[in-house]
Amino acid sequence: MDYQLLFAVIIGISILLFLILKLKMQAFLALLITCIAVGVIAGMQPSSILDSVKNGMGGTLGFVATVVGLGALFGAILERSGGAQRLAASLLNKFGIEKSPWAVMLTGFFVAIPVFFDVAFIILIPIIYALQKKTGKSLLLYAIPLLAGLAITHTFIPPTPGPIAVAEILGADLGYVIIFGFIAGIPSAIIAGPMLAKYLSKRMHIETPEEMVSEMKIPDNAPSAGTILLIIAIPIFLIVCNTVLNSPLFAEGELPAWLVYGADLLGHPFVALIIANLVAWYFLGIKKGFTKSELLDISTKSLYPAGVIILLTGAGGAFKQILIDTGAGKMIAESLSSDIFPPVIFGFIVAAIVRVLQGSATVAMITAAGITAPLLGLSETSAPQLAVLVIAIASGASIFSHVNDSGFWLVKQYLGLTEKETFKSWTVMTSLIAIVGLVVSTVLWFIV
Q: What is the pLDDT of residues 216-258, one digit of tens each?
A: 677 778 899 999 999 999 999 999 999 998 887 776 667 888 8
pLDDT at 337: 53
pLDDT at 354: 87
pLDDT at 189: 96
Nearest to 435 by CA among 168, 382, 333, 443: 443
Angle at 340 between CA 339 and CA 346, to 5 degrees: 95
* Cα–chain center distance at 448: 22
- Residue 300's Cβ-count burial label (10 Å; 0-12, 13-18, 19+) is exposed
Q: Are 148 and 108 in contact (CB under 8 A)?
A: yes
Nearest to 142 by CA among 106, 118, 110: 106
Q: What is the pTM of this model?
A: 0.89
CA dihedral 336, 342, 345, 349 (to 10 degrees): 10
Distances in Å between the alpha carbon of 417 and those of 56, 126, 140? 42, 16, 10
pLDDT at 21: 80
pLDDT at 214: 62
Q: Which stretches of the chain score pLDDT less than 50?
A: none
pLDDT at 334: 65
CA dihedral 177, 182, 183, 188 (to 10 degrees): 120
CA distance 170 to 164: 10
pLDDT at 271: 95
Can you give the length of the chain in residues?
448
User: What does 26-94 look like in DSSP terms, one character per residue?
Assistant: -HHHHHHHHHHHHHHHTT--HHHHHHHHHHHHHHHHHHHHHHHHHHHHHHHHHHHHTHHHHHHHHHHHH
Contacts of 103 (CB under 8 A, 6+ apart): 88, 91, 92, 94, 95
pLDDT at 109: 95
Residue 384 preceded by cis peptide, ω within 30: no
Q: Are 317 and 34 in contact (CB under 8 A)?
A: no
pLDDT at 159: 85
> Which pLDDT tens digit goes with each residue over 19-53?
988 888 888 899 999 999 999 998 999 999 999 99
Q: Three-class SS of residue 203?
A: coil
Angle at 35 between CA 33 and CA 36, to 5 degrees: 65
Nearest to 328 by CA among 26, 28, 35, 20: 35
Nearest to 70 by CA among 158, 8, 174: 158
